[in-house]
Chains A and B, each alone.
Chain A
């Protein structure tokens, strides 16, 4: 297993367009998290899945954001009608336990909205 994989690594989109990111976690990890990181800040929690169930969502996750994890494997994060403020690094992480002992993060998807 090569760790948590995220695609694409970089995405440039025009304001108003929809974008979708994919995350493939470590296969034996049943917990998956999405975080967002802007320049000069630490990662901020967006949402959490245990298997296919989305158990927690941050207030940061507006109605333009939706995440899925069909069959408890890979996950997708979609942003509709992108805004310039959505420009950030979107990080996916997975773990066996519920975060207490640490996550394995992917390399992230850098989104730039122009």
Chain B
């Protein structure tokens, strides 16, 4: 069974601060995806990283995939109240025959104005 551990579970910061969220596993994934979920809604895809060592930037968000394709990080620069939400990482399995994503439990971020 593939597991993804996210840390921290909860994060409360002041507007303008920087933060990093981590997603770790002992398993190798073909890709890692990051989603943001608001209460009562479904997750919304932010980014997919596929290549080991890959770095992607989305405005103030920077995503990195580990060289061994087992871990990932999300860095937010100058956080804003609109960044508040649950950040989920999800791994896609390697090999054929399975299509299920494995999700972490998420990091709940609160950005205080």
Contact = CB atoms under 8 A, between A and B. Distances in A.
Interface stretch (B13-21, B40-48, B66-74): B40-48
Contact of A102 (B41, B45, B104): B45
B30 interface: yes
Given A45-B100, A107-B41, A101 B48 contact: yes
A42 interface: yes
B31 to A, nearest CB: 5
A91 B33 contact: no
A99 interface: yes
Contact of A106 (B42, B48, B99, B100): B42
Contact of B99 (A55, A91, A105): A55
B103 interface: yes
A108 B31 contact: no
Interface in A1-35: 4, 6, 31, 33
B75 interface: no
Nearest to A3: B42
B101 interface: yes
Interface residues of B, number: 25
A53 B35 CA distance: 27
A56 B98 CA distance: 7
B74 to A, nearest CB: 15
A100 B50 contact: yes
A59 B102 CA distance: 14
Interface in B39-94: 40-45, 48, 50, 88, 90, 92
Given A43-B43, A101-B50, 19 more contacts: A33-B99, A42-B103, A43-B90, A43-B101, A48-B100, A56-B98, A56-B100, A91-B43, A99-B100, A100-B50, A100-B92, A103-B33, A104-B45, A105-B43, A105-B44, A107-B42, A108-B40, A108-B41, A110-B40
Interface of B: 4, 30-31, 33, 35, 40-45, 48, 50, 88, 90, 92, 98-106
Interface of A: 4, 6, 31, 33, 40-45, 48, 55-56, 58, 91, 93, 98-108, 110
